[in-house]
Amino acid sequence: MHSFEYKNGSLHCEDVNLQDIAEQYGTPAYVYSANTILDHYRRLDAALAEIDHCVEYAVKANSNLSVLRLLAEEGSGFDIVSGGELFRVIKAGGDPKKCTFAGVGKTRAEIEYALEQGIYSFNVESEEEAAFINVVAGEMGKVAPIAFRVNPNVDAKTHKYISTGKSENKFGVDFAYIEAAYERASQLENVKLIGLQMHIGSQLTSVSPFIEAVEKVSPLAAKLKATYGIEFFSIGGGVGIVYDPALESAKPEWWAAQEEEQRPLTIEEYAAGVLPKLKELGLKILLEPGRYIVGNAGVMLTQCLYEKKGSAKTFKVVDAGMNDLIRPALYEGHHEIVPVAQPAGDDNIKMDVVGPICETGDFFMQNAELPNFPVGSVIALLSSGAYGFTMASNYNTRPMPVEIMVDGDQAKVIRKRQSLDDLIAAEL
């Protein structure tokens, strides 16, 4: 659930009117709910209270310093995929000793920086990477803590671009080869085997793939604990959120009204599914949620510039583009669109909501039945807190949007809107 709802005829984030935000700070604008972020983190943390665990927030989902600071103050760890993300975590007050470093292409500079900062573990994606980390650590007079990422060949049944746990994906070591990888790595002088990691994909809406993966990999984790004394098993992230209907899902009564077989995956159902097997291991369990924590904690506001009626379609042209939110263009990501001013009646029309970018793929929704919002009005693209701003770009030489954090009745700019001078500041 989340903290976006209509109050007195206008969409609010917590106790702040989003129309007021649009008028004060302009559009496009990303707006985040601090209390939604904290609620999601706390619910996940509490659901796993029966076991030794650490929630490692996936920084790539939303890396704003204020978001990271909020979670660091709660005691969160962090799942990072670059040296830059580690830098952000440290600047936000996060503890590098609670960071795990994933990714298939770590550079020498990133490995050196991570070792200097004393991260908890490298999640190693290949034997070649383990050998290289060993060399770098040796040159620095250090021992690098590592955990191999195993690819369990489990179908997450999600979009092909965010499925990571099958043999044809680039991530991890094949399940058939993983024990041999540990054996060979155990001979390296400057690495220490401290864990095992897996992650099968993102936006999973069923608990079944999680259970399948945990049941398949847990015996391996137990064997590695007995053989090499590993201390943790990371089961990755991937718990999905409700993109449709996003606004209605804010209400407890909406969840209560769903038939059991149709109800979206809850964190309580997820924990109940994976905990029985994990309890047996006696290992520290790490989780790497990103979208679950911040996805439904954010919206993107954009203003309607023009309405264009053609023989085939009605287009609503808005001031945000695919450079601001690329998910619909990149992997058919759905974001519910609602007017900030609450519609008075049922005046839906079929439309395409498109941006100003010179690309046919620059759309947020096509052939959609939506309220007929007028030119000049502000709309909200819901569920934009994850993989929204972090994937934004300056394509078409467009400044990056402002980011705003709401806490109760207070709204604070947490990243200024980029100016035209900012755009070219680094160029010669």
Which residues are known to be catalytic? 358
The amino acid at 166 = K
Residue 408 assigned to a binding site = no
How far is CA 383 from each of CA 42, 179, 246, 364, rounded to the nearest angstrom? 19, 40, 7, 13
Backbone angles phi, psi at 56, to 5 degrees: -110, 95
Residue 23 assigned to a binding site = no
Residue 83 assigned to a binding site = no
SS3 304: strand
**Radius of gyration of the CA atoms of the chain, in A:** 23
**Distance in angstroms (rounded) separating the CA atoms of residues 337 and 381:** 5
Compute the residue count for the chain.
Answer: 428
Residue 331 assigned to a binding site = yes
Q: Is the peptide bond before 245 cis (omega within 30 degrees of 0)?
A: yes
Residue 327 assigned to a binding site = yes
The amino acid at 29 = A
Residue 161: closest CA among 126, 203, 123: 203
**Max alpha carbon distance in the chain (Å)?**
70
- Count CB-CB contacts under 10 A for residue 388: 27
Residue 259 assigned to a binding site = no
Please give the angle made by the CA atoms of 194, 196 and 200, to the nearest 5 degrees. Answer: 155
| Residue tagged 């439309």 (tokens) | 351
Residue 291 assigned to a binding site = yes
Residue numbers belonging to the annotated binding site: 238, 288-291, 327, 331, 359, 387
Residue numbers belonging to the annotated binding site for pyridoxal 5'-phosphate: 238, 288-291, 387
Residue numbers belonging to the annotated binding site for substrate: 291, 327, 331, 359, 387
